[in-house]
Amino acid sequence: MNEQGQVIGMNTAIIGGAQGLGFAIPIATAQRIANQLISTGRVQHPYLGVQMATLTPELKEQLNNKPNRPIEVQEDSGVLVIGVAPNSPAAQAGLQPGDVIRKVGGQTVTKSEEVQRIVEGTQVGSTLQIEIRRGGQTQTIAVKPGALPSN
């Protein structure tokens, strides 16, 4: 609870003997999960199927100086797509390793955690606009997040 008595999170774990150290999920996430359970009896976690990393000048230099580099990076910031899972929503939409994500759903992103948070807040099957930089050009790609495979 916050100072106004509003529920802002739901405890998921408390470590005894660690002076009250606990972990919680945001209440918006708990509400989304509860609503899915009530309406469909199961929970679907949206995913794109990309492996990504927060792009920094150091990471750019490290990748560009690798022999036989699989990815050439031109951007200094954003979220770098390192890999795309075969047959994933990202692959079907045309995302490629080396793409640098700049915006997701109209929101500017600079860290991979921000992309993850935005994707988790969408509905499976909805359309999500992703602005990328590829080969020095800006493109917008429409991706439909899928349900995270259970296996």
- Condensed to tens digits (0 to 9), the pLDDT of residues 81-131 reads 999 999 999 999 999 999 999 999 999 999 999 999 899 888 888 999 999
Q: What is the pLDDT of residue 136?
A: 87
- Count of Cβ atoms closer than 10 Å to residue 122 Cβ: 17
The rounded percent of the chain whose pLDDT value lies above 70 is 97
Closest CA to 145 of 117, 118, 126, 121: 126
C-alpha to C-alpha distance for 49 and 139, rounded to whole angstroms: 19
Mean residue pLDDT of the chain comes to 86
Q: Which CATH number fits domain 46-147: 1.20.120.1200, 2.30.42.10, 3.40.50.720, 2.40.30.10?
A: 2.30.42.10
Residue 101 identity (one-letter amino acid): I
Q: Please, which residues bridge with residue 108 across strands?
A: 103
Q: What is the pTM of this model?
A: 0.74
Q: Please, which residues bridge with residue 11 across strands?
A: 24
For the chain, where do the domains classified as CATH 2.30.42.10 start and end? 46-147
Residue whose tokens read 């899972």: 85
Alpha carbon dihedral 121, 132, 103, 32, in 10-degree steps, equals 0
